[in-house]
Structure 1
Amino acid sequence: MGSTSEVGRRDLVKRAAALGILAVPAMGALSSCATGGGGGSQDGTKNKGATSAKNPLGVKNGVSLEAFIFKGGLGDQYAKDAEADYNKTYGTTVKHTGTQQIGPKLQPRFAGGNPPDLIDNSGADHLDMNTLSAQGQLQDLTALLDAPSIDDPKKKVRDTLYPSTIEKGQHKDTFDVFYYAFTVYGTWYSHKLLKDKGWAYPTSFDEMISLCAEIKKAGIAPWTYPGKYPYYVHFNVFAQIAKIGGLDKWIAIDNLEPGAWTSNDAVKQVIGHYEELAAKGYFLEGSQGLTHIQSQTAWTRGKAAFIPNGSWVENEAAPTTPADFDMAVGPLFNGGTGDKMPHGTLRAEPSEPFIVAKGGKNPLGGMELLRIMLSKKHAQNFATKVKSLTSVQGATDGMQLSPGLASAAKTVKEGGKNLLMIQLQEWYPKLTDEKLGGLTSQLLTGELKAAEWIKKAQQYADEVAKDSSVTKFHRAT
């Protein structure tokens, strides 16, 4: 479904587009889903059994459970492994479906009032969670947050998570989407390449420009990007604006406030930096025509030094990555002494949305399966199998991690509280992916100047703000 969801679209941008499910549906093309059924009339406690210390949610033994898992770049084995533990504990066999067509398969089931219990709602063909939430078809997951964690019953599940997991999963005041993965965005590079060449990862825009000149002289393109999907560049651009200008000014952009783009000096600095990279020929020739896979392949084969991406890239680019590539990600660059956030700031936020259908046969079982997935055992299994962090803080501490995942975990730890979450792409994807994406494409090919990018970005944002057909969201400062 097309989504203006607070919690659904960000995952589409970063996961579906990156995992090879790239056909983003037009907004409204699937807006009529989930208009029937009686999901909203249920209280979410169907088939409730007795509660106990080991069964805090009161899952009834022997009751069937159905799980629909998006089978993209992450696969679905990690979910099957958690389901095996659920089966042993509750004397049943989870009915598992792994698919890339979540929406097409489940829209009629929600409309008919017989949805599965647990759904990994990812991919381009995902369900519109904003619509489902508004209709009362999603289970409120507060009981899961307040349940004791499996590893330490003295700790509630909520106390084991990155705080942004809870903010990200709310529709207004209701927490009904659980983002299981935790994605690190930034500038990705080969540590081996930089080390072999005697280059240091830049800490500032000025250092980046200087290093790009050296890289180009060495016969390597400093940067590449998937020009077919230029919003990948926004993974860096938007967070960089927040780092330099301050989160409060970025939140003004998230909230579509008048003049939020044009009155922010950080916007001028960041967009100007990318204009300079383009003007000096620091992007791999032909990048504007590359898909995400093609740009990643050019990068892993040493044709370019840097690429804007998310931490899924290690798993996705594995087929073309040399064994000694030593993949790494760096924090956001400093703009200057006036930056509002310190060096080490990076964009790292929850991803991979799981929902529990209130009208399912066993919603309590769906929540319990999530509780099992949030144990250290299964968080580590996820990290091992798909080279990604989960929303469980510190779950990978002490593990032997792959290079990219180890680097991502390190940057998150060093970032501390300075972890940015960007909502604009999630709330208003047509604005960011289509409108601003088009501007960014022109900027990186030298067809558009930074000043014009900013002027048009403000114009497009204002148009969305005035469009009564677009659901609006508000983020508190």
Structure 2
Amino acid sequence: MGSTSAHGHEGLGRRNLVKRSAALGLIAVPTMGFLSACATGGGGDENKTDKPKGEVTEKNPLGVKEGAPLEAFIFKGGLGDQYAKDAEADYKTTYKADVKHTGTQAVGPKLTPRFSGGNPPDVIDNSGADHLDMNRLSSQGQLQDLKELLDAPSMDDPAKKIRDVIHPSTLEKGKHGDKVDVLYYAFTVYGTWYSQKLLADKGWAYPKSFEEMIKLCGEIKKDGIAPWTYPGKYPYYVHFNLFAQIAKIGGLESWIAIDNLEPNAWTSNDAVKQTVEFYEELAAKKYFLAGTEGMTHIQSQTAWTKNNAVFIPNGSWLENEAAPTTPKDFGMAVGALFDGSSADKMPQGTLRGEPSEPYIVAAKGKNPRGGMELLRIMLSKKHAQNFATKVKSLTCVMDATEGMTLSPGLSSASNAFKAAGTNLINLQLQEWYPALTDQKIGGLTGQLLTGDLKAADWIKKTQAEADKVARDSSIAKFKRTS
């Protein structure tokens, strides 16, 4: 997912192990998840970081103990893990400490027994399909409150706290109740991706509305190319755009009702109807690449980079993940959300852009202060720029890429982000209830896109699935107001 994210489904073959782990209650079920699940306020002693502790100084504001070993567990998916190793190298030099690094695509299955046994690693990039259920961990007091980190001086300007140099939505998204205990390191731009070269060569313009898109798809199909592809094995990728379109057309308030699992939030919303009917029309007119319904994310991306399809829904990790098959002159670019009509609540250029790649520090790890300090190092401009260079993605550090020469996809994402201004959409449903969005609604979306389910039935069934979650007292709930 996400995320960061949704870009690491190689772990999906581990279903049986995941099911067993889910029984322990630490993994978000049933794993085709973008980032994470659901919680209540944490209790216990998770805020006490008294083991081990060094002297607090200007250069060591978190009081990291020199020589204390650090263990980092990093999701190794579409973004790789070299960027984390680079930050770990600086930590190792500064604190003369051993750093044990594990790169994996099965964070949940590997760490569930360790959290249960009371010996989790210190810092974890909890991303990919097999992620831990952070909401549950938070409610169990397993996640370190990151207040000390957020109040610590930034590496580049000690006059500024960490909380002042990162995008405000990072703080909002990382909250469980009143505390921030998740640090979303990346900033992902979602949208409809395309090749600038292909559009230019064919004389096509990126459509601004549903109507323009449907019209262009007809032209594209006549030209012998498929208009769209998507990962049919993981149809929730389409939600990256579909959900955001609902918010763009109906306004964020109408989406917040959906995030909050309010009754009739799907069925009484005209923006839902308009958006889902758009996807129904794409399916009815056979505007998806033949065979798409059986493709993984990598297969659909490869078909797209080979120009077998013009558009693909995805997040900005795409450029790095698809790099092996992307031609040099492809001109990867991302387009903003489409207009539904002149009555849309949010303007042309509105974008879904939000924090992703969730880092957590284990409150019951051996060195939580070291875990927070590694994050402080990663939040320096040096490492934010290293991340942009290595993985072609933005971080949550504001203005970190100013003056850099960016790759085509990242440059396009950065420009779209700037053009959107305050018209940014940030969604929580996929974070809070991934089993609902990725499995239940995802299954319905898969049927919608193959033409096996009508829009009206998708809406009715989606509402029923949301209502089931709302009624399930075993699932902790969250509310958002903005």
Give the TM-score normalised by structure 2.
0.92
Q: Distance in 2 between matches of 1:475 and 1:74?
A: 29
Query: Residues 31-430 of structure 1 correspond to what in structure 2 (within 5 A)?
Result: 31-33=24-26, 40=45, 43-430=48-435
Gaps of 5+ in 2: 28-42
Read off the aligned partner of 2:384 and give its amino acid letter.
A
Read off the aligned partner of 1:464 and give its amino acid letter.
V
CA positional deviation for 1:211: 1.1
CA positional deviation for 1:365: 1.2
> 1:92–1:171: structure 2 CA closer, same or farther, 3 Å change rule?
same
Q: Distance in 1 between matches of 2:47 and 2:165?
A: 29
> 1:75–1:201: structure 2 CA closer, same or farther, 3 Å change rule?
same
**Comparing 65-74 and 16-25, the one that deviates more:** 16-25
CA positional deviation for 1:474: 1.1
Read off the aligned partner of 1:228 and give its amino acid letter.
K
CA positional deviation for 1:271: 0.7
Q: Distance in 2 between matches of 1:204 and 1:344?
A: 11
- Structure-2 residue corresponding to 1:20: 10
Q: Report if the CA contact (8 A) 2:47-2:145 is conserved.
A: no
- Structure-2 residue corresponding to 1:7: none
Read off the aligned partner of 2:121 and give its amino acid letter.
P
What does the per-residue CA deviation read over 1:192-251, in whole Å, with 9 as the maximum and x for residues that have no partner?
000111111111111111111111111111111111111111111000000010000000
Q: Report if the CA contact (8 A) 1:21-1:72 is conserved.
A: no
What does the per-residue CA deviation read over 1:70-118, in whole Å, with 9 as the maximum and x for residues that have no partner?
2222222111111111122112232222222323332333233222211
Q: Distance in 2 between matches of 1:104 and 1:366?
A: 21
**Secondary structure of the structure 1 residue equivalent to 2:441:** helix
Read off the aligned partner of 1:350 and give its amino acid letter.
P
CA positional deviation for 1:182: 1.2
Q: Report if the CA contact (8 A) 1:181-1:389 is conserved.
A: yes
> 1:19–1:73: structure 2 CA closer, same or farther, 3 Å change rule?
farther
CA positional deviation for 1:28: 7.5
**Comparing 61-70 and 362-371, the one that deviates more:** 61-70
Q: Report if the CA contact (8 A) 1:261-1:457 is conserved.
A: yes
Gaps of 5+ in 1: 1-9
CA positional deviation for 1:426: 1.7
Number of aligned residues: 464
- Structure-1 residue corresponding to 2:436: 431
**Comparing 441-450 and 25-34, the one that deviates more:** 25-34
Pairwise CA RMSD: 2.0
Q: Distance in 2 between matches of 1:247 and 1:453?
A: 21
Q: Distance in 2 between matches of 1:18 and 1:200?
A: 32
Read off the aligned partner of 1:414 and give its amino acid letter.
A
What does the per-residue CA deviation read over 1:412-444, in whole Å, with 9 as the maximum and x for residues that have no partner?
111112111111112122221222222212222
CA positional deviation for 1:388: 1.3
Q: Report if the CA contact (8 A) 1:40-1:135 is conserved.
A: no
Read off the aligned partner of 1:114 and give its amino acid letter.
N
> 1:41–1:396: structure 2 CA closer, same or farther, 3 Å change rule?
closer
> 1:431–1:405: structure 2 CA closer, same or farther, 3 Å change rule?
same
Q: Distance in 1 between matches of 2:112 and 2:285?
A: 49
Read off the aligned partner of 2:175 and give its amino acid letter.
Q
Q: Report if the CA contact (8 A) 1:19-1:73 is conserved.
A: no
User: How much identity, in percent, do the aligned residues show?
Assistant: 72
Q: Distance in 2 between matches of 1:450 and 1:103?
A: 35
- Structure-2 residue corresponding to 1:4: none
